[in-house]
Structure 1
Amino acid sequence: MTVDVIVCGVGPAGRALAHRSLVRGVTVAVVDPAPDRAWQATYAAWADELPEWIAPSAVAATVAQPTAWGTLAHRIDRPYVVFDTERLRTSLELTGAEIVVGRAASCTPDTVSLADGRVLTARRVIDARGVGRSPARAEQTAYGVVLDAQRCAGLEPLFMDWRADNGAPAAAPRSFLYAVPLGDGTMLLEETCLVGRPALDGTVLRDRLHHRLRSHGIELTGDESVERVRFPVEGGRPGPHTFGTAGGFAHPATGYSVAASLAAADTVAAGESAWPASARAVHRLRAAGLRALLALPPADLPLFFDAFFTMPTAAQRAYLSERADLGGTVTAMRTLFTALPGPLRRRVALATLGMPIRSRIRMGSAIMDLCDRSGRAR
């Protein structure tokens, strides 16, 4: 077999890339152990991140202004969409692609070796198989239940809620409540560990969710549909032959990757680079944000997100969504840094200085300049 492109892995990123390649008239083969397997996770994105070609039917629900809680409530002036997972999957049609059922054991720029001994060749091979778990990699974990929306009366859609009503000890690693409508008269309520190394176990998150829902007057019966989440937020390798989380498209400080992959699918399908120098620099700065989150004491996380969601929406968007906006990302990080309480600034500065040396010089200089001017972070 020799085709224009082989895509290994048909999760949301790989399937989107294969689909957009087919739309361009590129000959495509996809390799996956179970290419027709339904996606189990709930995917969501900011509405302004999505490319125009996304089928409207793939969006199950839209929250015009989701709420985020640190110690205070923050209304985010940015529509947030929740996908209908199955409609998203089927809208990314693979008609015309050669479907190869098998596990890719290794990928080179033009060859895929399958576990059963088959070898496939193409003008270009793209690895979209995701990132494997490792104790060295920070992860996001979550435990959620799906409830009839009437049982959640009075509970508004929540992007994150860090309030301490989940029964966790004050000094324990923090988790937050994520609550979104699914568009079919139900809501997903999910206790989430944003990032940890190691991340909180699902059993801990389950117990916290049950406690938190009881505090809202919601009793569970045990018959509810359950969603479990666990995935690395780091470990991707940006480059011309990787895509999705395997290619570093996951935001290392939030775990979001689907919208970024959808937005970049046309660029990569056209054979162009999704990683200009500015995008690589932003990726390094976001990795610094991950280090800062991992370094913060549990009690500081709500204060950190109070400062983040107090920033202008444009600054929030630059940090959360703009993969190649280096100037906007630096401005957002500086704005956040100056808004943090003094002791929190010092911890963030020290964590950020773990950056690779060239980035360390640039960002470290900016941070220490802010420290000097504030007179409170040293």
Structure 2
Amino acid sequence: MGTHFMLFSPPPLTKPHQPLHLATPPFPLPQRHYTASRKLIRANRVHSTSKFGNFLDLNPQNQPQALDFDLLWCHPSDRSRFDVIIIGAGPAGLRLAEQVSLYGVKVCCVDPQPLSVWPNNYGVWVDEFESLGLENCLDRTWPMACVYVNDGRTKYLDRSYGRVSKRKLKERLIEVCVSNGVRFHKAKAWQIEHQEFESTVLCDDGTELKGSLVVDASGFGSSFIAYDKVRNHGFQIAHGILAEVDDHPFDLDKMVLMDWRDSHLGNEPYLRVTNSRFPTFLYAMPFSSNLIFLEETSLVSRPVLSYMEVKKRMVARVRHLGIRVKRVLEDEKCLIPMGGPLPRIPQDVMAFGGTSGLVHPSTGYMVARTMTVAPVVAFAIAQCLGSTRMIRGKQLYDKVWNSMWPIENRLVREFYSFGMETLLKLDLKGTTSFFDAFFDLKPYYWQGFLSSRLTLKEVVSLSISLFGHASNPSRFDIVTKCPVPLAKMMGNIALEYIG
């Protein structure tokens, strides 16, 4: 699909004619940013509540209903042994179960609530889901996206964007799983024990499940995956609401990928100072003139930005935009660890999804990438466990892990992580200058970067081109603030080659 963007000053706002909602992970979070005195915070809270902060007190009115499916349950009396046991029935776990089961491999999926509807809002580029045959799992699309760099500069991206229908995607994945004989067990995986060619998953209901391969797709908080290096993640944190409003100023044919404008903080000096150092942006999906998804997002910070800080900035922004929230239909809190080291490769539990390093280190995107990688990993599993000559143990682990993380993919991820480390060094002005130059690249490059589909050579070309398109202040930022991340990236690349 031919894609281009248009760059010009934003038109006057006119009224027009929507990751993860994650439980806080059990591993310790770093100390958060606290930048104001208690007195200032207390005063700000009173001011917000009395004038415009009431929507934070509105309870979500939509209560998602569980799916109505007749699953094939795994009963303890069956004493069944499986080829693959997948822990987690999120998008990653179900997608892999669906793909592995296509080869006739015997699969069991373990989850405390396998039929519950995911609480997250997932956004994807439409071409990503079209290439996977999943376009019917989108409940709304926008022909264009826009990025507000600042109050005087807006970029319009001619690339369709869509919101994933959580119910449609889960129904589709479960339907295939059921038709292919995937068994489900309603419990929480408690412990994993390994023998040379077999592993046992102990569940909190006392059930023991045995299989040749255990895949952990339970999310960031997993304790089953081992790391050789310190997990120095960056963190993306956001607060989002699906709201019924009187009206809003956004065009219905454009989703707002990023709104970095800070004019809403003109009367909030303390918020403006902290936003200048640790910036947040608005991500918005306008469904109609009276229905919109709004999410205030910290792209990445280390340590994680205070959640209260994010909500205060969102309140100020919504007020400035003249949006009066009548009802909150859904709300969500996103906390996404980004970057950091990959798990130890290989190891006797296969990671997939959030805990496997598939999250884009510079953007936080994961769903489309997970949908894309699952068939590759499933094929590697089927080659080992779907053949008459069973390949198990260390050979199995090595083949499956390296199907997801071949050497080139690991090196490309180092460049993406370098992008994250660069963003961590930038303030609001530096960040907006970075994205101004980034979306000035040829569409092939910025689209490929956001979709994690560039080769190593292409990523290097993108980096050179980005430096060439950057403003002089941005080049100065790169030269002065990025030597340490650059040296770290080169060191990690050298270690990958040596390893």
Q: Shift of residue 295 of structure 1?
A: 1.6
Deviations 1:16-72 (A, max 9, x none): 111122233222101112222221110011122236454443101112220012232
Q: Does 1:120 align with 2:212?
A: no
> Equivalent residue for 2:469?
339
Q: Shift of residue 160 of structure 1?
A: 0.6
**Structure 1 length as normaliser, TM-score?**
0.87
SS in 1 for 2:325: coil
Q: Does 1:237 align with 2:333?
A: no
Q: Aligned pair in 2 of structure 1 residues 238, 17: CA closer, same or farther (>3 Å)?
A: farther
Give me the whole-angstrom Cα distance separating, in 2, the residues matched to 1:97 and 1:294: 43
> Equivalent residue for 1:301?
431
> Equivalent residue for 2:460?
330
Instruction: Identify which of 84, 102, 126 aligns with 2:187.
Output: 102
Instruction: Identify which of 355, 368, 383 aligns with 1:259.
Output: 368
Give me the whole-angstrom Cα distance separating, in 2, the residues matched to 1:357 and 1:276: 18
Which structure has more RCO (C-alpha within 8 Å, separation ≥ 6)? 2
Q: Whose radius of gyration is greater, 1 or 2?
A: 2
> Equivalent residue for 1:50?
129
> Equivalent residue for 1:372?
none
Deviations 1:205-258 (A, max 9, x none): 222112112211112346453222112123552757211122111101111111
The count of residues paired between Structure 1 and Structure 2 equals 362
SS in 1 for 2:343: coil
Instruction: Please say if residues 165 and 211 of structure 1, whose CA atoms lie closer than 8 Å, have aligned partners that are also in contact.
Output: no
Instruction: Please say if residues 362 and 417 of structure 2, whose CA atoms lie closer than 8 Å, have aligned partners that are also in contact.
Output: yes
Give me the whole-angstrom Cα distance separating, in 1, the residues matched to 2:489 and 2:184: 41
Q: Shift of residue 268 of structure 1?
A: 1.2
Q: Does 1:162 align with 2:245?
A: no
- How large is the RMSD of aligned CA atoms in angstroms? 2.7
- Deviates most, 217-226 or 123-132: 217-226
Give me the whole-angstrom Cα distance separating, in 2, the residues matched to 1:47 and 1:356: 34
Q: Shift of residue 161 of structure 1?
A: 1.0
Matches within 5 A, 1:64-75: 64-71=143-150, 72-75=153-156
Instruction: Identify which of 305, 308, 311 aligns with 1:200.
Output: 305
Instruction: Please say if residues 86 and 93 of structure 2, whose CA atoms lie closer than 8 Å, have aligned partners that are also in contact.
Output: yes
SS in 2 for 1:177: strand
Deviations 1:161-211 (A, max 9, x none): 111134232344100000114589732111100111122222222221121
Q: Aligned pair in 2 of structure 1 residues 358, 214: CA closer, same or farther (>3 Å)?
A: closer
Instruction: Please say if residues 233 and 253 of structure 1, whose CA atoms lie closer than 8 Å, have aligned partners that are also in contact.
Output: yes
Show structure 1 runs of 5+ residues with no match.
Answer: 363-378
- Deviates most, 143-152 or 131-140: 131-140
Matches within 5 A, 1:145-294: 145-148=241-244, 151-155=247-251, 156-167=254-265, 168-170=271-273, 171-181=276-286, 186-221=291-326, 223=328, 225-234=330-339, 237=343, 239=345, 241-271=350-380, 273-294=403-424
Give me the whole-angstrom Cα distance separating, in 1, the residues matched to 2:345 and 2:495: 24
Aligned letter for 1:87?
K
Q: Give percent identity, aligned residues only.
A: 29
Give me the whole-angstrom Cα distance separating, in 1, the residues matched to 2:138 and 2:169: 8
Instruction: Identify which of 158, 161, 170 aligns with 1:89.
Output: 170
Instruction: Please say if residues 264 and 317 of structure 2, whose CA atoms lie closer than 8 Å, have aligned partners that are also in contact.
Output: yes
Instruction: Please say if residues 141 and 202 of structure 1, whose CA atoms lie closer than 8 Å, have aligned partners that are also in contact.
Output: yes
Instruction: Please say if residues 244 and 329 of structure 2, whose CA atoms lie closer than 8 Å, have aligned partners that are also in contact.
Output: no
Instruction: Identify which of 76, 81, 85 aligns with 1:6.
Output: 85
Q: Aligned pair in 2 of structure 1 residues 27, 174: CA closer, same or farther (>3 Å)?
A: same
Instruction: Please say if residues 245 and 325 of structure 2, whose CA atoms lie closer than 8 Å, have aligned partners that are also in contact.
Output: no
Give me the whole-angstrom Cα distance separating, in 2, the residues matched to 1:266 and 1:238: 22
> Equivalent residue for 2:111?
32
Q: Does 1:77 align with 2:158?
A: yes
Instruction: Please say if residues 5 and 124 of structure 1, whose CA atoms lie closer than 8 Å, have aligned partners that are also in contact.
Output: yes
Give me the whole-angstrom Cα distance separating, in 2, the residues matched to 1:135 and 1:269: 27
Instruction: Please say if residues 318 and 325 of structure 1, whose CA atoms lie closer than 8 Å, have aligned partners that are also in contact.
Output: no
Give me the whole-angstrom Cα distance separating, in 1, the residues matched to 2:189 and 2:208: 9
- Deviates most, 145-154 or 30-39: 145-154
**Structure 2 length as normaliser, TM-score?**
0.67
Q: Aligned pair in 2 of structure 1 residues 55, 286: CA closer, same or farther (>3 Å)?
A: closer
Deviations 1:301-354 (A, max 9, x none): 111111111111111022222346111111112211232333222123443222
Q: Does 1:348 align with 2:457?
A: no
Give me the whole-angstrom Cα distance separating, in 2, the residues matched to 1:166 and 1:36: 41
